[in-house]
Amino acid sequence: MSHSAPPPRTSGDAHDDRLVANVHPPDWVNPTPAGRYNLVVLGAGTGGLVAAAIAADLGARVALIERHFMGGDCLNTGCVPSKAVIRAARAVAAVRDAGRFGVRVPDGVTVDFGQVMERMRRLRADISPHDSARRFRDLGVDVYFGAGCFTSFDTVVVGGQSLRFARAVIATGARPAVPPVPGLAAVPFLTNETVFNLTRLPRRLGLLGAGPIGCELAQAFALLGSEVVLVEGARGLLPREDRDAVAMVRAAMERDGVRVLPGGRALRVAAGAAGGIGLQPGPEAGSGEFVVDQLLVATGRIPNVAGLGLDAAGVAHGPHGVTVDDHLRTTNPRIFACGDVCSPHQFTHAADFMARLVIQNALFPGRARVGSLLIPRCTYTSPELAHVGVGASEARDRGMEVDTFTQELSKVDRAILDGDSSGFVRIHVRRGTDTIVGATVVAPRAGDQIGEITLAMKGGLGLDTVGAAIHPYPTHADAFRRTGDLYRRTRLTPPVKRLMAWWFRWCRR
């Protein structure tokens, strides 16, 4: 249940009406429970939907409880709307840069922001039937709308009805975190739950938070025409990522008009002149106040655990969400959890695969481990930044010795021809072997490309095998093959080279 409040709808909008008709029908009547459920799922975001669908498909008796909108953050306020807006921003960049290809656009770029957002709402509504209450009812799932709350170790109450279960899954997701920035509580601000309700482009937009959401939306709104100021946190831009990769993303963001400011640790916020909002970063950002018309806070997410009655169910929890073991079992052996409510990997695809693991362990005598999941991630800026496994700094922290091979896109023909030569493929292997332990890709569609290395790692294929696989020419993916070539050259050690020299001398006889 995304326990955060549902985003207010655009007044009188037919697309939002269609969305709501699918994911929280106003006329929905909850079923009457009859007997004990094999599985009760709290939360109809990605994790909850996957768990409920698989369990019902296997023949289990399943109940699904959602407090607000089915589809959760991903459909309603996250992946789906953000990628629609980002796609519009990339169209702006394509028109802006058309002159590099000999294509003239005499009148330049004109953005109809209202139409951009209308397209987003239309596409979101188009996608929503997949997550709809009626679809899950047709799958055999009993769908309940309301605030579910545990009242005992095997009972949940929703809408005044008690649902008993053999097993339960907590998949209630997370909500935006609001940092303790002085003055922030006194000014209006947006989060990812409300920014997609905008119908007019902010002339000046401020962003707090330099993680994936902040970077993606900062660049997108700058391309759409806003003057954007992004205030970094204490750990800088995209702190989890490879520093060379981050430098390329920062340069692209600044090229597209984003002003990136340090000083997040000492930031103060205050009401500005003429209804604006004043941002006062620390001294490292220089003196003065930056006044914006709208402020977007994107400083992380907090697991939704309040109001679930977890203590009554004997489920331990804390600031980082529900406590689970490596099998995603809570301290109540009947209850499991998956997704953002219990995991540091707050991605839709992570919740999806955690839900599959939960079904194995909750409904069958499975021992599947969440630690065995190989979870890639991607920041959807332009260029995209994708990563899987460990990076060089993390390997050092673990005491793992690695060899690193980097193929610059500036030496990949298709990237040169497409005008997208700022980026690289970087692969880390265990020292002295071709065993891949991690990779970073900075490129257009890096999120699509990282799957090749994820598959290789999952299947136990080494970098030598990746390099031996024929890739079509010319493609961006040829960079992976070339990285394999870089590895192979390291096999030509001095003794091998001496042996080769002897062989060729003998062949000339």
Candidates 408, 390, 406; CA nearest to 398 is 390
**What is the spatial distance between Cα 443 and Cα 416, in angstroms, rounded to a whole number?**
12
Asked whether residue 369 carries a pLDDT value surpassing 70, the answer given is yes
Candidates 168, 186, 100; CA nearest to 416 is 100
**What is the spatial distance between Cα 499 and Cα 327, in angstroms, rounded to a whole number?**
52
pLDDT, average across residues 400-426? 95
Candidates 476, 475, 477; CA nearest to 466 is 477
DSSP label at residue 33: P
Confidence tier at 119 by pLDDT (50, 70, 90): very high
The three-state secondary structure class of 420 is coil
**What is the spatial distance between Cα 264 and Cα 255, in angstroms, rounded to a whole number?**
22
**What is the spatial distance between Cα 87 and Cα 238, in angstroms, rounded to a whole number?**
21
pLDDT: which is higher, 37 or 506: 37
φ, ψ for residue 5, nearest 5 deg: -65, 145
Helix (H) / strand (E) containing 85: helix 79-96
Q: Contact, 48 vs 355, CB < 8 A?
A: yes
Q: Which residues pair with 58 in a beta bridge?
A: none
pLDDT, average across residues 275-287? 79
**What is the spatial distance between Cα 51 and Cα 352, in angstroms, rounded to a whole number?**
8
Asked whether residue 2 carries a pLDDT value surpassing 80, the answer given is no
Looking from the CA of 478 toward its CB, the CA atoms found within 13 Å total 13
Tokens standing for residue 42 = 């709290």
**What is the spatial distance between Cα 398 and Cα 394, in angstroms, rounded to a whole number?**
6
Kindly report, residue by residue over 430-464, the tens digit of the pLDDT: 999 999 999 999 999 999 999 999 999 999 999 99
Q: Contact, 116 vs 88, CB < 8 A?
A: yes
Q: Cis (ω within 30 of 0) for the bond into 212? A: no
pLDDT score for 3 = 46
Most confident by average pLDDT, 131-140, 271-280, 495-504: 131-140
Number of H helices, E strands in the chain: 16, 23
Question: Burial level of 447, CB count in 10 A (0-12/13-18/19+)?
Answer: middle
Kindly report, residue by residue over 378-407, the tens digit of the pLDDT: 999 999 999 999 999 899 999 999 999 999
Buried b (16+ CB within 10 A) or exposed e, 80-119: bbbebbbebbbebbebeeeeeeeeeeeeeeebebeebbbb
Within 8 A by CB and 6+ apart from 54, the residues are: 355, 356, 359
Confidence tier at 296 by pLDDT (50, 70, 90): very high
| % of the chain exceeding 70 in pLDDT | 97
φ, ψ for residue 161, nearest 5 deg: -110, 140
pTM for the model stands at 0.93
pLDDT, average across residues 225-231? 95
Kindly report, residue by residue over 317-353, the tens digit of the pLDDT: 999 999 999 999 999 999 999 999 999 888 899 999 9
Tokens standing for residue 353 = 């695969």
456 sits in the region (left: phi over 0; alpha: psi -120 to 50; else beta) called alpha
Confidence tier at 488 by pLDDT (50, 70, 90): confident
3-state secondary structure 166-207: EEEEECCCEEECCCCCCCHHHCCCECCCCHHHCCCCCCEEEE
Tokens standing for residue 469 = 């696989």
pLDDT score for 497 = 78
Tokens standing for residue 25 = 């029908």
Q: Contact, 163 vs 332, CB < 8 A?
A: no
| CA distances from residue 93 to 98, 204, 257, 368 in whole angstroms, order as listed | 8, 19, 11, 45
Angle at which helices 348-363 and 46-57 cross, to 10°: 40
Asked whether residue 361 carries a pLDDT value surpassing 50, the answer given is yes
Which residue in the block uniquely carries the two structure tokens 């490129």?
Answer: 443
In whole angstroms, what separates CA 421 from the centre of its chain? 25
The single-letter code of the amino acid at 21 is A
The three-state secondary structure class of 110 is coil
Measure the CA angle with vertex 502, ends 498 and 504; round to 5°. 115
Please give the mean pLDDT across all residues of the chain: 92
The string of DSSP codes covering 364-428 is SS----GGG----EEE-SSSEEEEEE--HHHHHHTT--EEEEEEEGGG-HHHHHHT--S-EEEEE
The CA R_g of the chain, rounded to the nearest whole Å, is: 25
Candidates 148, 175, 132, 139; CA nearest to 66 is 148
Q: Contact, 170 vs 342, CB < 8 A?
A: yes
Q: Contact, 153 vs 32, CB < 8 A?
A: no
In whole angstroms, what separates CA 284 from the centre of its chain? 30
